Amino acid sequence: MKAFVVDKYSKKGVLRLAEMPGPEVGDSDVLVEVHAAGVNLLDSKVKTGEFKLILPYRRPFILGHDVAGKVIRVGSKVRKFKPGDDVYARPRDGRIGAFAEFIAMDEADVALKPKNLSMEEAASIPLVGLTAWQVLVERAGLRKGQKVFIQAGSGGVGTFAIQLAKHLGAIVATTASAASAGLVKGLGADVVVDYRKDDFEKILSGYDVVLNSQDAKTLEKSLTVLKPGGKLISISGPPDPEFAREKGLNLVLRLVLRLLSRGIRAKARRHGVSFSFLFMGAQGDQLGKITSLIESGTIRPVVDRVFPFEASNEALAYVETGRAKGKVVITMR
């Protein structure tokens, strides 16, 4: 099958279009014909080797963390899906590979595709949808009337998280350029800070939750907008000791991550708030709940551009510019 693979970790290197063996299908797997794949900044970080100590893939490996397609075969133990089902998923770490004609995934990672979305729209959802769900619902326990600050509101995670937070009844603040203000307000943002001319830490205060997706400087500034007991949850690092324990990392890596996050954890304690790092995981059941929200019209996908499969490198390069509003998708059709 045709697939885009990573041959070596490199910031300047590109993915190679290769002929690869078809995926093996285990007893609990579904084999999916890929119709579309979402493109994420995580793909770029994995390609450059930023996560190679935590996610040690054997090269060459197929990239891609978001997929929508049709089930063509199921393993002997699969009960939730059958051939012909339209599905979408964020395959679990260690089994990524959406930039290909076919992918095999554990059925626990997969959900039925929302009936009201195209394959391209569906492929834009899993990674950002699950990230927002796991931050706001699972980790933060966001409740009606609480205030949440979601950074980079026009990005992939931001466009989804704003809608989810509004569904949960929260008051939502975000950062965006003046050109994107209309987009994020239309998604439900109550307060929009123009990051090009205003400092959010001088405008926002008394927030219950911050979803941080930016750099270390922004992470530290975010502490000041939280009220005592607030929660700073970062999806861009630094990884913390709890993450190391969850991943079962060795003692050396646990020590390294403890040291990397020591500064922000100490500053959070001094501010009377908590800091935690979240690296989202595959979860088909949560994705099924997201499907219900999409089919009810509560949440809609925001897709910036769709590239043909052959232009996967161009799609990844576009994501790396940071200019995309919502998600970027590649299509096999």
Query: Does residue 89 sit in the same domain as residue 30?
Result: yes
Tell me, yes or no, whether 83 and 204 share the same domain: no
Helix, coil or strand: residue 148: strand
- The answer to whether residue 292 is domain-embedded is no
For residue 36, tell me if it sits in a domain.
yes
Q: Are residues 150 and 269 in the same domain?
A: yes
Structural domain count, the chain? 2
Average per-residue pLDDT for the chain: 97
Q: Are 161 and 117 found together in one domain?
A: no
Q: Which pTM does this prediction carry?
A: 0.97
* Domain match, 257 and 133 both: yes
Model confidence at 333: pLDDT above 90 = no
Q: Do 268 and 306 sit in the same domain of this protein?
A: no
User: At residue 53, does pLDDT exceed 90?
Assistant: no
Q: Which tens digits make up the pLDDT trace of 94-106?
A: 999 999 999 999 9
pLDDT at res. 259? 95
Is 164 inside any structural domain? yes
Same domain, 255 and 164: yes
Looking at the fold, whether 115 and 138 belong to one and the same domain comes out as no
Whether the per-residue pLDDT at 171 is higher than 90: the answer is yes
Q: Is residue 256 domain-shared with residue 311, that is, in the same domain?
A: no
**∠ CA(269), CA(131), CA(9), 5° rounding?**
95
Q: Are 219 and 226 in contact (CB under 8 A)?
A: no
Determine, yes or no, domain membership for 246. yes
CATH number of the domain encompassing residue 183: 3.40.50.720
* pLDDT value for 282: 98
Q: Could you tell me if residue 186 is inside a domain?
A: yes
Report whether pLDDT(299) > 90: yes
Position 282 in a domain: no
CA dihedral 37, 41, 42, 46 (to 10 degrees): 100
Residue span of the structural domain in which 260 resides: 127-277
Q: 125-159: per-residue pLDDT in tens?
A: 999 999 999 999 999 999 999 999 999 999 999 99
Indicate the Cα dihedral angle 194, 192, 152, 262, nearest 10°.
90
